[in-house]
Amino acid sequence: MALGITNTLKTNDFLNTECVFEAQEESFPAQLLTAQEHFDLLHPPRAYGVTVFWEQHKPSGGWKTLRSDSPNLPEFLADQQGQQDRYLTVNEFYRWRVTNQLKSLRACYVDIDGNVDIDKPLLRLAEMELPEPSFVIYSGRGMHLYWLIKPVPAKALPVWQMVQNKLVEALIPIGADPVVKDCTRVLRLCGTINSKNGVQVTGKKLTGKRWTLHQLSDAVLGKRPEWVPSQKPRSAQVHSFSAKPNGRKKYGSIYQWWSLVHQDLMKIGDYYLPSGGIPEGRRDIWLFLTLLSLSWFVPAARVKSEMLKIARRYTPGLMNDVQRQMLPIIKRAEASMRGEKIIFNGKTVDPRYQFKRETLFEWIQEIIPAELQSELRAIIPNELRTQRRKERDKARPPRDRMKEGRYQDRYTKDGVRESNREKREQARQMRADGMSLRAIAKGLDVSSRCVALWTGCVGTPPL
């Protein structure tokens, strides 16, 4: 199945200030019974990337990539009806289900184990003043709640992750799996069978709403403060008396990087939570880095309230120091929101603190449990990073660069490149007609030396 991606998501698909105030209800069946119905809700045309399908018990070749605009898709999904243990990614990817190949986000979800009473999560959400899901899938031994969103690009992952974390955390008391909250997750496909108890996976429409990510984040995380442009002159936004603000603009997924750092720090915090929180002696640095990572993908006005909650939960002994720890980071986050820059090492950069991976690991390695290191994504040692790269490269399917067209213009071992074969024949014909090497070179827009080689006239004067 072709993997070429023709459609692209733009930043405005996420930063849409003209979106309607309330999410719109969509028309779809009240009861979801087939794989096609489930797929169409998560991945309606047009396709921005591929979805990943998994057949659990197939010895090999159980993983496939699917596109919503493929003409073969309806037949493929129909074949899954009544089959055992089939899964599908919630989101879409360039080629494979890894975070760095994420293409578009399609829904937030919560996996609830051992509970099939939909009234319990709905009551809990109402108590927490959180929105009801768009639909529910009964997985056979639990249920999956989905909040549909309009497709947004991978750069919106930090916001999506905050919404996802909040929804999962709210439903933990009624059985939500606290680990299942990543963007690469596969969940059971409607119309298939759970082999553990022989129950068919079915679904049910709840609100039927599809949100923009802005709407859902406002409903889950609270209203965003209205952005106010800086009133300072541009000259006052660069804090240097001598350097010129002409540093090269940096591009890259720095927000996604700090989102991964934050996830690692929270995993470390969750590990120590049963024993009273982060060990003493490292609470201040953990708190500092957690706040810093938040400041990269959470509005400055919201950082303070989020940090107080985290400090109360993971570093209770530092509650009196939270304001002091927070002040410089908050100020820098506010400066960043105003569009201000600073000069660092002669370059114009964002005013928020930035640290290398090696520095983060050096600061925090003393409280990273050995059994947790393999689960971390960003705060890792050089050796583990190198090992993961080798494993990833080894697992990557071999590329046929000839089929990709990479070597279409190649040397033919016949004294000419593939793209110049036609010119060589023209040069030989022109030479046979009595034209000089120089005239041929001018007519074909090549050098006289090249014409001499093509026509076997090396050493012949160009005239």
Residue 53 sits in a domain of what CATH number?
A: 3.30.70.1790
Residues in contact with 52: Cβ distance below 8 Å, sequence separation at least 6, in sequence order:
63, 64, 65, 66, 88, 89, 93, 96, 97, 186
Owning domain of residue 104: 11-221
Asked if 58 and 100 sit in the same domain, the reply is yes
Give the residues of the chain that fall short of pLDDT 50: 1-6, 10-21, 234-252
**The pLDDT of residue 241:** 33
Residue 393 falls inside a structural domain: no
Angstrom distances, CA of residue 298 to CA of 265, 269, 292, 388, 463: 16, 19, 10, 29, 72
Around 139, how many Cα atoms within 13 Å sit in the side-chain half-sphere? 20
Look up residue 253 and give its amino acid.
S
Of the candidates 158, 187, 221, which is a domain's last residue?
Answer: 221
**The pLDDT of residue 411:** 60
Q: Which residues on adjacent β-strands are paired with residue 114?
A: none
Asked if 26 and 97 sit in the same domain, the reply is yes
Look up residue 220 and give its amino acid.
V
| Residue pair 299/306 in contact by the 8 Å Cβ criterion | no
| Residue pair 303/294 in contact by the 8 Å Cβ criterion | yes
Residue 410 falls inside a structural domain: no
Residues in contact with 195: Cβ distance below 8 Å, sequence separation at least 6, in sequence order:
57, 84, 85
Q: The pTM is what? A: 0.54
- 31-32/342-344 β-pairing: unpaired
**The pLDDT of residue 450:** 85
Residue 228 falls inside a structural domain: no
**The pLDDT of residue 339:** 84
Residue 430 falls inside a structural domain: yes
Angstrom distances, CA of residue 144 to CA of 99, 115, 180: 21, 10, 11
Angstrom distances, CA of residue 351 to CA of 145, 340, 433: 39, 7, 70
| Count of structural domains, the chain | 3
Asked if 360 and 430 sit in the same domain, the reply is no
Of the candidates 221, 255, 271, which is a domain's last residue?
Answer: 221
Distance CA 401, CA 408 (A): 9
Structure token pair of residue 39 = 């797929």
* Chain CA centroid to CA 309, Å: 26
Look at the alpha carbons of 156, 157, 161, 167 in this order and tell me if their dihedral is positive or negative: positive
Question: How many residues belong to the chain?
Answer: 463
Asked if 308 and 368 sit in the same domain, the reply is yes
Residue 407 falls inside a structural domain: no
| pLDDT tens, residue by residue, 213-252 | 999 999 998 876 665 665 555 444 444 333 343 433 333 4
What angle separates helix 119-127 from helix 157-171, to the nearest 10 degrees?
110
Residue 53 falls inside a structural domain: yes
Asked if 259 and 188 sit in the same domain, the reply is no
**The pLDDT of residue 226:** 62
Residue 70 falls inside a structural domain: yes
Residues in contact with 287: Cβ distance below 8 Å, sequence separation at least 6, in sequence order:
278, 307, 310, 311, 314, 315, 318, 322, 325
Asked if 22 and 149 sit in the same domain, the reply is yes
Residue 234 falls inside a structural domain: no
Of the candidates 204, 221, 238, which is a domain's last residue?
Answer: 221
260, with CB counted inside 10 A (0-12, 13-18, 19+), is buried
Asked if 268 and 358 sit in the same domain, the reply is yes
- Which uninterrupted H or E stretch holds 148? strand 142-153
Distance CA 360, CA 94 (A): 29
| pLDDT tens, residue by residue, 36-76 | 999 999 998 877 888 999 998 887 778 989 988 888 999 99
- Which residue's entry shows tokens 């003393």? 366
Is residue 210 helix, strand or coil? strand
Task: Return the number of other C-beta atoms located less than 10 Å from residue 114's C-beta.
Answer: 9
| DSSP assignment string, 309-359 | HHHHHH-GGGGGGHHHHHHHHHHHHHHHHTT-BEEETTEEE-SS----HHH
Tell me which residue of 112, 244, 87, 92 sits closest to 176, measured CA to CA: 112
Look up residue 361 and give its amino acid.
F
Asked if 348 and 441 sit in the same domain, the reply is no
